């Protein structure tokens, strides 16, 4: 089982409008809703890949109820165990407005509920209790208001004590603080990596992130694939062709790829190939945040993985 943590889960709402115009009134032609927040996206991709996953984090209010109902009804939902901690606040929504004319998406993200100290303590009990069965842990996304900035560092240390490999995918100060607790893997994109280290060149930035505490760094390079820097060496992986589409959720699919392959005992090059193939298949899927299974199966054997010539460690 892979333990996923989504501290700021969301109901992701997508609106399609025929022609987006600021300060105008729009009739929405299509509404879709799905459970969101990075850790939940990871859990849904894991379930689609046949892996069991326990979903932890917070859910509250009518939006939280709806999120839980949609989660249970997800494809592969029987492999998702809902262990979300109930809270008195209300789960946030995100609204993405897709302009069907020019393909652009305008995104609005609510800040999320205030999580109390007691609710955080209850969550931590659940988290520690479930660590015993976990083959890996994914800590994903932003922190809701009210939680200390060092919350991910606390969870990284708990996973380390239990001897469970832990991946951290967040940004800003929670990433800076979390990385110092020595997670097994961080998965920043280039912007997050630059924000953390000050370096724009990915190899240099990944090396600096390892120096700050990450045991391994998997840096997503957008259309160019992924770079991984570990104690055993570095690899780069790239798709066989340039992939165009909606990149929403591509990073979460990469996390699911890395962790599912780790759980299956695969080596770094295979983990990386799976992450890049899943990420590309997510960009190619018609619905934001889903992945196209046949594209994934087609791409997986064609991902170009090579050891880095220059030292990345």
Task: CB nearer to a copy of itself: give 22 or 73.
Answer: 22
Position among 1, 52, 65, 266 found at the interface with a copy of itself (CB under 8 A): 65
Q: How far is the CB of 23 from a copy of itself (least distance, A)?
A: 4
Structure tokens that stand for 104 in this block: 């652009």
Position among 1, 52, 66, 74 found at the interface with a copy of itself (CB under 8 A): 66
| CB-count burial class (<10 Å; 0-12, 13-18, 19+) for 267 | exposed
Mark the segment that binds a copy of itself (CB under 8 A) among 24-32, 262-270, 279-287, 303-311.
24-32
288 binds a copy of itself (CB under 8 A): no
Backbone angles phi and psi of 124, in degrees to 5:
-60, -35
Long-range pairs of 298-302 with CB within 8 A, sequence gap ≥ 24: 299/239, 299/240, 300/273, 300/274, 302/239, 302/240
Q: Tell me, yes or no, if 252 is annotated catalytic.
A: yes
260 binds a copy of itself (CB under 8 A): no
Task: CB nearer to a copy of itself: give 65 or 81.
Answer: 65
SS3 string, 73-110, reads: CCCCHHHEEECCEECCCCCEEEEEEEECCCCCEEEEEC
Please, which residues have CB within 8 angstroms of residue 174's CB and are 6 or more apart in sequence?
Answer: 142, 143, 149, 150, 151, 152
Task: CB nearer to a copy of itself: give 162 or 247.
Answer: 247
Contacts with a copy of itself in 97-116 (CB under 8 A)?
A: 97, 99, 104-111
Cβ(178)–Cβ(7) under 8 Å?
Answer: no
Structure tokens that stand for 154 in this block: 């606390």
26 binds a copy of itself (CB under 8 A): yes
Q: How far is the CB of 147 from a copy of itself (least distance, A)?
A: 16
Position among 22, 73, 286, 301 found at the interface with a copy of itself (CB under 8 A): 22
29 binds a copy of itself (CB under 8 A): yes
95 binds a copy of itself (CB under 8 A): yes
Question: Which of left, alpha, beta for 102 (phi over 0: left; psi -120 to 50: alpha)?
Answer: alpha
Cβ(67)–Cβ(35) under 8 Å?
Answer: yes
20 binds a copy of itself (CB under 8 A): yes
Q: Which of 12, 169, 184, 252 is catalytic?
A: 252
21 binds a copy of itself (CB under 8 A): yes
27 binds a copy of itself (CB under 8 A): yes
Dihedral sign from CA coordinates of 174, 113, 69, 27: negative
> At 12, is the secondary structure helix, strand, or coil?
strand
Could you give the residue numbers annotated as active site?
A: 252
User: Residues in the site for a copy of itself, rule: CB under 8 A?
Assistant: 13, 15, 17, 20-29, 31, 62-63, 65-66, 93, 95, 97, 99, 104-111
């Amino acid at each position: 089982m892979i333990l996923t943590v989504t501290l700021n889960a969301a109901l992701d709402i997508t609106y399609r409008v025929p022609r987006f115009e600021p300060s105008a009134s729009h009739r929405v032609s299509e509404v879709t809703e799905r459970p969101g927040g990075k850790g939940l996206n990871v859990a849904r991709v894991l379930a689609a890949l046949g892996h069991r996953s326990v979903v932890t984090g917070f859910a509250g209010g009518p939006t939280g109820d709806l999120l839980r109902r949609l989660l249970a009804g997800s494809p592969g939902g029987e492999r998702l165990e809902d262990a979300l901690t109930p809270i008195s606040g209300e789960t946030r929504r995100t609204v993405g407005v897709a302009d069907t004319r020019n393909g652009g998406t305008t995104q609005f993200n609510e800040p999320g509920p205030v999580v109390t100290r007691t609710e955080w303590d209850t969550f931590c009990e659940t988290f520690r209790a479930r660590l015993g069965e976990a083959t890996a842990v994914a800590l994903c996304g932003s922190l809701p208001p009210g939680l200390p900035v060092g919350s991910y560092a606390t969870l990284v240390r708990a996973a380390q004590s239990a001897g469970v490999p832990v991946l951290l995918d967040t940004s800003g100060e929670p990433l800076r603080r979390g990385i110092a607790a020595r997670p097994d893997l961080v998965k920043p994109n280039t912007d997050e990596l630059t924000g953390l280290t000050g370096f724009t060149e990915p190899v240099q930035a990944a090396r600096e992130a390892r120096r700050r505490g990450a045991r391994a760094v998997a840096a997503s390079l957008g259309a160019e694939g992924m770079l991984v820097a570990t104690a055993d060496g570095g690899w780069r992986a790239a798709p066989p062709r340039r992939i165009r589409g909606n990149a929403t959720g591509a990073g979460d699919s990469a996390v699911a790829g890395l962790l599912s392959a780790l759980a299956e005992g695969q080596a770094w090059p295979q983990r990386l190939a799976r992450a890049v193939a899943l990420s590309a298949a997510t960009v190619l899927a018609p619905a934001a945040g889903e992945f196209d299974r046949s594209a994934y199966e087609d791409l997986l054997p064609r991902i170009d993985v090579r050891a880095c010539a220059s030292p990345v460690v």
